[in-house]
Amino acid sequence: MQRFRDHRIYTHHEREFDRGREITIDFEGHPLRAFSKEPVAVALYAWGVRVASRSMKFHRPRGLFCLGGRCMSCLARVDGLPSVRTCRVPCRDGMKVRRENAIPQATDDLLHTLDFVFPRTLHYQEMFTRPLALNKLLQKSVRMFSGAGDLPDQPLSAPPLREREVEVLVIGAGPAGISAALGAVEGGAKAVLVDDAPELGGHLVGWPEPLLGAADGPAWIAAQHTRLEQAGVETLLGAECIGRYREGFWALHHEGGLVLVRAKRVVLATGAYDQPPLFANNDLPNLFSARGLMKLTNRWGICPAVACTIIGADDAALSLAERLPEIGVRVLGLVTESTKIDGDPDRAERIQSRGVPIFLGHRVTQAIGDFHLKGLRLEPVGGGEHVDARCDLVAVSAPGAPSWELAAQAGAEVKFVDGQHGFVSQADAVGRTRTGDVFVTGEMLGPCSPARAVSHGWDAGVAAAFDLRANDPRPAARGHTPEP
């Protein structure tokens, strides 16, 4: 039985949370108060819904992780449509939301027993391949038990099609993408900026640190809104790029329709995937990526728990360690396998002087808890006595894995680079790939700070625009600096 309690913060000493107007959504038959700008996942979390979905195979409880549309832990049925990423969809009055893939319901899913019966693994492709009758029966049961929701309530009609031509198309409206669109205009082109999120800024919507003269991420984004408007950049939000097709167009899903875009130049700024940590039970609800947790607390004003352990000791981890106590979350400690602090040492010292330990040279071996997160088990990297840190919230700050799929689809060379945490699109200094018409920028080229993403995005945008004007000299690789 789900009990609902509002975890929203309504007064904060330095922040206002713009949630939009008050509305009501229907969550599995319960009317819940929500706000028109809040993503559905956030509205449910605000009311204490910690199990956002069930995993496809073992029906393990899944909670929100990235809040950036990447981890797929927040899939639910929305207004009769299955597998909607609820962290990407704003609430609407009367909206009906239901979790799927569970019997009888996600909170007490009987199919979770599969996880106990097969504690190590379950290869149903290899089980009971003979006799045929048993195999057929097994196939049927597997299809019944696994999956990602039922078909839509109503048959879907073909989406309306629209074609358009664009000079510079920028995909991804985080720091690099925004800057690339502005750079393209500076280079003399008309730019269209698209993102599947309902608002601009990418992970900066929750970034609490100063950035290029702005007080924090939201302040920087607000300034860019004005600049984009003044520069005449067309912005399409809630527009998902499906891919580039052989016929030479980029397909966008936007407002229920399909937009086929022929672009002379494309700048890809689709960022990176927040990575889950590698230890047992790493998928328990209330284990967030650092950026996901920053969005939840700083953008949406939700107090998620009582006590937090932070994995990592880089600047994002230190920032969380300083700011979580401001909303009433106690930070029990930071833990890192590294033997040194990766972030600002003075800040780390300040945090330690407040009694928050930093466990250097320690690794997490497991998350404790069956259904709810109860803590982390830590152990020295070289072996030794373990320590259990009791907490009900974990934030993981680690470099993301660059996104590469659209670049590869468009014909760019993509290579696995261990030090960059995944596959990286190969490009010259301004982000030009071997395709000639596709540029990549920001975290697609490897982990980088927001300021670096802004700077490189600008270069890529200017270079893309200059490419359109055959007789103009191309800009030097680092020849342009964005205004703050």
Site of interaction with ligand FES (CB under 6 A):
41, 64-67, 69-74, 85, 87
Q: Using CA atoms, how far apart are residues 69 and 205, in angstroms rounded to an integer?
A: 14
Tell me whether residue 39 or residue 208 sits nearer to ligand FES (CB atom). Answer: 39
Q: Is 72 or 468 the residue whose CB approaches ligand FES more closely?
A: 72
Measured from the Cβ of residue 316, the count of other Cβ atoms closer than 10 Å reads: 25
Nearest Cα to Cα of residue 27 among 17, 41, 38: 41
Q: Cβ 374 to ligand FES, closest distance in Å?
A: 22
- Return the structure tokens found at 121: 């693994």
Q: Which is nearer to ligand FES, 400 or 431 (CB)?
A: 400
424 forms beta bridges with: 415
- Nearest 10 degrees: Cα torsion 331, 390, 315, 352: 60
Q: Which is nearer to ligand FES, 275 or 336 (CB)?
A: 275
Considering the complex, what minimum distance in angstroms separates the CB of residue 421 from ligand FES?
Answer: 18
* Helices (H), ranges, 312-423: 315-323, 345-353, 405-409
Shortest separation between residue 75's beta carbon and ligand FES, angstroms: 8
71 vs 214, which CB is nearer to ligand FES?
A: 71
CB of 418 to ligand FES, least distance (A): 25
Q: Which two tokens stand for residue 420?
A: 């960059």
Nearest residue to 73 (alpha-carbon basis) of 90, 43, 53: 53
Report the nearest approach of ligand FES to the CB of residue 296 (Å): 10
Closer to ligand FES by CB, 285 or 457: give it: 285
3-class SS shares of the chain: helix, strand, coil, % to 5: 25, 30, 45
Give the chain's length.
Answer: 484
Tell me if 43 sits within 8 A of 50, measured CB to CB.
no
Q: How many CB atoms lie within 10 A of CB 373?
A: 22
The residue (of 74 and 241) whose beta carbon lies closer to ligand FES is 74
- Closest approach, Cβ 473 to ligand FES, in A, equals 43
Cα-only R_g, the chain: 23
Cα–Cα dist 34/222, whole Å: 24
